A and B are shown apart, each in its own frame.
Chain A
Amino acid sequence: MSGPEGVRAGRRARTRANPSADAAAGAPLSDEQKRVEAAAAATGRHSRRRFGELRNIGLIGVLALLVLAGSLTRPAEFLKYDNVVVILTLASVGGVIAVGMTFVIIGGGIDLSVGAIVALATVWATTKATQVYGTGGVIFCALAVGVGCGLVNGLIISYGRIVSFIATIAMLASARGLAINISSGHTQTLNADNQSLVNLGYKDHFLFGKIPPLVIIFAVVVVVGWVVLNRTTYGRRTFAIGGNPEASRLAGLNVRLHTLLLYVLSGLCCGIASIMLIIITSSGTSTNGNLYELDAIAAVIIGGTLLSGGRGTLIGSVLGVLVFTTINDIFTLNNLTTATQQIAKGVIIVIAVLLQRLLAERRAGPGSA
């Protein structure tokens, strides 16, 4: 019988009785095969993991250098607990967004609307109408707006077949516009009933009295994100689809649904980030999140994720965010203007990417793919 049982039995029988015996054992390796094997042996074992590790080590080195620079230029202030809390807290917001962005970019797309979604979420969540429902309502609303915008992005990109660059720019404009509309351009503060949310930012709520809750949220998001990316089928499929969407489609992966979910994930991260922003500023305004997308993308790229998709690391993105936040902090402490900070950021991005490419070429040898 040739049903599925028969097939499987036949296959197992085949693999157990060493098939190479009759097929290949007698056949000598062809010249081409010999050449390829020799080349592969010479360049050593490549593994996606090794490559990522090397890059992460580089970034940690950069971070170490920055800490050195900070403590040298401002010894009295830089290494103090208060300053470290400031750095980590600021990094938390951008970091959560970068986690979502990492997924999207590895999956082969890009999300330029994250800043605007954060703005819209903070505004919607802090309207008088929403605040009636208390802190729970505020939190739920922010998350819902994030997920909703992500869903719209995903639908347009996956099923509307519009390129992610364009689709998310459209969302950028619309979300920002809607935010201005809802808030009538004003800043909306949290009323007294909901101040408890803001208290999460205060010292008495710190874990063990030392760790700000925002940093804990960031850490949780990073851990969950890492697990999903590296230990679940969803994460594995993200790499596949980003690396070669056509081959993934022909291998039977549901590329469209998967891509949709990527943008929902990014939107969710924006929702979480917006809650964190509300905690910090105790308000919601349409000018929030300005240029957050560029910061997130920059962090993801210097962290080692390829803009073209298919390869990347979440830890790298986290390190990238920390690097940028630390630079900002050092500049601020040294009273350098934001303009100088921006220039420095640009220079660092270029240097980081160049270094990455040099490292990649040296490891893989000339003429590598």
Chain B
Amino acid sequence: MPEPQQLLVMRGIVKEFPGVRALDGVDLEVREGEVHCLLGQNGAGKSTLVKVLSGAHQPNAGDIVWQGSKTQALTSPTAAVRLGIATIYQELDLVDGLSVAMNIFLGHEQARLGFTRRGEMNRAARKLLARLGHGEISPTTEVGRLSAAARQIVSMARALSYDARLLVMDEPSAALAHDEVKNLFRVIRQLTEAGVAVIYISHRLDEIREIGDRVTVLKDGRTVAVGLPARSTPTATLVAHMTGRRYEYVFPPRPESGVDEGAPEVLRVEGLTLPGVFSDLSFSVRAGEIVGLAGLVGAGRSEILETVYGARRPSAGRVILDGKRVRAGNVVAAVRAGMGLAPEERKSQGLLMHDSVAGNVSVASLRRYSRLGWLDRRRELRDADREVGGLDIRPRDPRRPVRTLSGGNQQKTLLARWLLKDCRLLLLDEPTRGVDVGARAELYTLIRRLADSGVGILLVSSEIPEVLGLADRVLVIRKGQTLRECDARDLDESQVLDLVMEGSDL
């Protein structure tokens, strides 16, 4: 057997964005015809690496060696495709309104003098789909009507139509059922037999064991393990590589006596069900307690917060705040009852970017400053200023447009909003995302102080150490189910990872 050729080598890849070093020296080596799995936690740099490979981002430093020669040609997605690298993103980039054939040839349509040659495209598409073993998908069907699995196949056909030598697949099985995954593997094996290499990114250890040849682990933007054999490396080793952090988290101390057992329940959730996401969910949050929801992206944690808050309507279940039932699916009712939400996408869902800090702080409490509709602007500004000072939002000027603030201060503005409202339960969705390290410690202290003042806090974070360090009690969520509920001190990062990564044998 001839020695498999090295198709792609990446050495010391660095990618910086303002304020953050997403990739800090990544090495990768992929051989022809192999399935190379990429493993790593959220924030480890997997998505950024995929974007570098697909040409969407250019690295600030490092070498890329393609088919034996160093190349600077990965300058754009078009260039990457021309080179022979095709990428299938997690959110498939297909156009729902166009047919299968048009999607497959999008960007490189078969055309003469500007007119697309529909017949030829359909024929070529049919051939590609048959090669993938899916002759039943008709090239003229509108992609929007296809199932998730079929769309996946169309994406792969598109990659094939470029005659790719390297296929990068980001969480391909996330939307697929079990037998569809088996089919996907069959297709992948066909491709690898023809010499195509596949970079396969997934959290599912059982899949990695089944389809993978070698594994590379990323952590904090660096490669920590390269080319480990996929089948024989023990889970414990893989998990050990993935966990731990480069920098020290600084968490404020928990109240010594633990959360007061006699403290009243602020939130009680009973039998909450959101079809397709989670079912029969029950838990509670006491006053002064921080409850964390740990799990992977896509496990349904943000949806849980949104449903409790009334932004989504559950099909069953009850949400009870301070002993009173809250009308489901109604944000106005939830806020009036005393809930507050700091959403995941701070800029698009949380803040009024065109408005001042004071405007953002007071928007949920306008009623308080209203006398028969007339807005008492002086009192509003004074109270907003008090919150700005109290949370040490910098710069101090509450009239400043909120978009000029740093991420950490913007997050504080959101917290100030709910502080001013005097809410009873605060829902925090990824509160430190996009916040640099220095400001995080401050946010943690603020959150703990909020809890100490009697507010109940429900926290969602993709960074497991953050959840474990900040929360009093943790619910480990996987695919909408609560796997474990216990004191945060009784769990460590590896245990949580084991629980949430599917197919783990520990």
- A and B are partners in one complex rather than unrelated chains: yes
Chain A residues near B (Cβ < 8 Å): 2-4, 6-8, 10-11, 14-15, 19-20, 22-24, 27-33, 36-37, 39-41, 45-48, 228, 231-237, 239-240, 243-244, 246-254, 310-311, 369
Residue B319 at the chain A interface, CB threshold 8 Å: no
With A15-B389, A233-B369: A40-B404 Cβ-Cβ less than 8 Å: yes
Are B264 and A19 in touch, CB under 8 angstroms? no
Are B349 and A40 in touch, CB under 8 angstroms? no
Residue of A nearest to B380 (CB): A236
Q: Provide the residues of chain B in CB contact with A47, threshold 8 Å.
A: 356, 399
Q: Provide the residues of chain A in CB contact with B441, threshold 8 Å.
A: 27
Are B359 and A19 in touch, CB under 8 angstroms? no
Are B419 and A11 in touch, CB under 8 angstroms? yes
Which of A10, A22, A37, A244 has the largest number of chain B CB atoms within 10 A? Answer: A244
Among B79-87, B94-102, B237-245, B448-456, the stretch in contact with A: B448-456
Of B349, B355, B377, B446, which is within 8 A of A239 by CB?
A: B355
In the complex, besides A239-B359, A254-B332, 15 extra interface pairs with C-beta distance below 8 angstroms are: A7-B454, A19-B391, A22-B445, A23-B392, A23-B442, A23-B446, A27-B442, A39-B404, A48-B355, A240-B359, A240-B363, A243-B353, A247-B350, A248-B352, A250-B311
Residue of A nearest to B338 (CB): A4
Within the complex, the shortest CB–CB distance from B407 to chain A, in Å, comes to: 8
Cα(A5)–Cα(B312), bound, Å: 31
182-235 of chain B: CB within 8 A of chain A: none
Q: Provide the residues of chain A in CB contact with B408, threshold 8 Å.
A: 33
With A32-B436, A233-B375: A250-B350 Cβ-Cβ less than 8 Å: yes
333-382 of chain B: CB within 8 A of chain A: 334-336, 341, 343, 348-356, 359, 363-364, 366-367, 369-370, 373-375, 377
Are B454 and A252 in touch, CB under 8 angstroms? no
Cα(A10)–Cα(B450), bound, Å: 9
Within the complex, the shortest CB–CB distance from A234 to chain B, in Å, comes to: 6
Q: Provide the residues of chain A in CB contact with B367, threshold 8 Å.
A: 233
Residue B298 at the chain A interface, CB threshold 8 Å: no
Are B370 and A233 in touch, CB under 8 angstroms? yes
Within the complex, the shortest CB–CB distance from A260 to chain B, in Å, comes to: 14
Are B288 and A4 in touch, CB under 8 angstroms? no
Are A234 and B446 in touch, CB under 8 angstroms? no
Residue B275 at the chain A interface, CB threshold 8 Å: no
Residue of A nearest to B455 (CB): A7
With A7-B454, A232-B375: A251-B364 Cβ-Cβ less than 8 Å: yes
Residue B287 at the chain A interface, CB threshold 8 Å: yes
Are A2 and B445 in touch, CB under 8 angstroms? no
Of A7, A48, A247, which is within 8 A of B424 by CB?
A: A7
Q: Provide the residues of chain B in CB contact with A10, threshold 8 Å.
A: 452-454
Within the complex, the shortest CB–CB distance from B333 to chain A, in Å, comes to: 9
Tier of interface size on chain B: 35 or more
Residue of A nearest to B366 (CB): A233
Q: Provide the residues of chain B in CB contact with A246, threshold 8 Å.
A: 348-349
Cα(A200)–Cα(B336), bound, Å: 49
Residue B135 at the chain A interface, CB threshold 8 Å: no
Are B343 and A250 in touch, CB under 8 angstroms? yes
Residue of A nearest to B420 (CB): A11
Q: Provide the residues of chain A in CB contact with B363, threshold 8 Å.
A: 236-237, 240, 248, 251, 253
Q: Provide the residues of chain B in CB contact with A45, threshold 8 Å.
A: 397, 399-400
Residue of B nearest to A37 (CB): B395
Are B336 and A252 in touch, CB under 8 angstroms? yes
Are B445 and A32 in touch, CB under 8 angstroms? no
Which of A6, A248, A251 has the largest number of chain B CB atoms within 10 A? Answer: A251
Residue B181 at the chain A interface, CB threshold 8 Å: no
Complex A-B: 23 CB contacts under 8 Å: A2-B264, A8-B422, A14-B453, A15-B389, A19-B392, A23-B442, A27-B442, A31-B436, A32-B18, A32-B19, A33-B406, A40-B404, A45-B399, A47-B356, A232-B370, A234-B373, A235-B375, A236-B359, A237-B366, A244-B348, A244-B353, A250-B331, A252-B335
Cα(A235)–Cα(B18), bound, Å: 37
Q: Provide the residues of chain A in CB contact with B351, threshold 8 Å.
A: 244, 247
Q: Provide the residues of chain A in CB contact with B404, threshold 8 Å.
A: 36, 39-40, 46
Cα(A48)–Cα(B359), bound, Å: 11
Are A32 and B454 in touch, CB under 8 angstroms? no
Are A243 and B332 in touch, CB under 8 angstroms? no
Residue B401 at the chain A interface, CB threshold 8 Å: yes
Are A236 and B375 in touch, CB under 8 angstroms? yes
Which of B19, B366, B421 has the largest number of chain A CB atoms within 10 A? Answer: B366
Residue of B nearest to A41 (CB): B395
Are B438 and A30 in touch, CB under 8 angstroms? yes
Residue of A nearest to B449 (CB): A14
Q: Provide the residues of chain A in CB contact with B335, threshold 8 Å.
A: 251-252
Are A232 and B373 in touch, CB under 8 angstroms? yes
Cα(A45)–Cα(B287), bound, Å: 41
Q: Provide the residues of chain A in CB contact with B401, threshold 8 Å.
A: 46
